[in-house]
Amino acid sequence: MSDPSPGSSRSAALSDIILASARNVHAVLDGRSLSDSLADTPATLRAPAQAVSFHVMRQLGRARAFRSELVKRTPPNPLFDALLLTALALLDAAVHFQHEAAADAPERRYTPIYAPHTVVDQAVTAADGQRQLKPYKALLNGVLRTFLRERPGLLERIQNQPEAVYNHPHWWVKRLRRAYPAQWQSLLLAANIPGPMVLRVNRRRAQVGDVMRALTAAGIGVADAGHDALVLTQPKPVHDIPGFEEGWWSVQDLAAQQAARLLPLQSGMRVLDACAAPGGKTAHMLERADVIMTALDADAQRLEKVSLTLTRLGLDAQGRVDVRCADAADLSSWWDGTPFDAVLADVPCTASGVVRRHPDIRWLRREADIARTVALQRTIASALWHTVKVGGHMLYATCSIFPEEGERQASWFVQHHSDAVRLSAPGQLLPLNDGTGVTHDGFFYALFAKQA
């Protein structure tokens, strides 16, 4: 799920876009993922509503702080509250880019910007067109106009509130501050910069140079990032990029592309991708070596994407891949007892390392989720270790930046498995801006070899 161009929102009525976005915000605040909610958004509104919804998720802490200052009680109608938050986030951006930001500020590329009076008018129009929102029309109008008049003072009043400053839950801010005392602020700020669209060239179907030339000929800005990876200057729908249907490439972040390179793969090996959906790492391993692959996942619906991906990339032929639905930790339900040469344990986690791509994650997670994922990760990793042959390898991976799901888990694993030897691997990859942009998502990798 990548950020569409905010400019695409000009073709639909802004009132409809604001209302559709408010429904998405309401869904997230009610515990539903933004991806699922967007799937229910009418196709004609989906791209512009996604741009606005992403913006609100990235500015939700600030918008809630404004709302708390302007409305002393949380509005009793959840959809109206979401509409108010959406309008406040858009208004704040409108004023910022009208009066405060430089004309060439890089964040203009991914921020939906409208004239302040247009936002107020269209938000009120959105409320007026809905029976359950119409009673709040005057309140909405008054709050938004008060915001425009009093914004400088409001900014002063919220400047010491962590959620408003960093747009993450307070517990999230505290944990990162404790874990990364020199980098916590940079991590939080970087999480609000959308990640670039990265392609992984399928070396069985195309060469990097050929793909680059095809993209350049199509007017798509692209840079070679090494190791079969290409970074686009601007994200685009996959069907607008040459070579998608032909299987020349897949979309995969630079951090995720390291998994297949870290496992020491050779042709003929038996390999297990234990939490395979949606199939990016499965495909990458098959692209790199002629292995006999078992792709396992507990989610049947997401597992279908693995098969579709392998078919598109031409990697499903000759019986090299066994795609099956099962709980990785329940060995009796799927394992035949024949050990694997290499196992990828890309275990479930809080996904705290990919919030720049999925900005709703920070608001969906609860602090108690960390303890639950830690317990689940230990269960899965310990079970999978039984399936690794002596002399084989297991790569433990998470898309998290919380140490409890990364370094502490790796330390726990070697302490509780006497036959595990930890080998060289990147460990914690932090999604920090290195001066040229945030280069990769947050990820953790630990590689273990099994000794006799």
Residue among 424, 390, 431 at smallest CA distance from 410: 424
Question: Three-state SS for 288?
Answer: helix
Sheet holding 222-226: strands in order across? 222-226, 229-232, 198-201, 249-251
Known catalytic membership, residue 399:
yes
Contact 6, 113 (CB under 8 A): yes
432: DSSP letter: -
Active-site residue identified among 275, 325, 349, 399: 399
Dihedral of CA atoms 281, 286, 289, 295 in degrees, nearest 10, equals 80
Residue among 98, 92, 97 at smallest CA distance from 119: 92
What is the Cα gyration radius of the chain?
Answer: 23
Q: Catalogue the E-assigned strands of 180-269.
A: 198-201, 222-226, 229-232, 249-251
The contacts of residue 77 (CB under 8 Å, 6+ apart) are: 132, 133, 136
Residue among 360, 334, 407 at smallest CA distance from 191: 360
Burial 35-47 (b: 16+ CB within 10 A, else e): eebbeebeeebbb
**Cβ neighbour number for residue 368 with a 10 Å cutoff:** 8
Q: What share of the chain is helix, strand, coil (3-state, %, to 5)?
A: 50, 15, 35
**Cβ neighbour number for residue 302 with a 10 Å cutoff:** 15
Contact 398, 351 (CB under 8 A): no
Question: Three-state SS for 115?
Answer: coil
Tokens describing residue 135? 């009673």
Distance CA 192, CA 392 (A): 40
Return phi, psi of residue 439, to 5°: -80, -25
Distance CA 86, CA 132 (A): 17
Residue among 288, 218, 225, 216 at smallest CA distance from 259: 288
Report, as residue numbers or ranges, the catalytic residues: 399
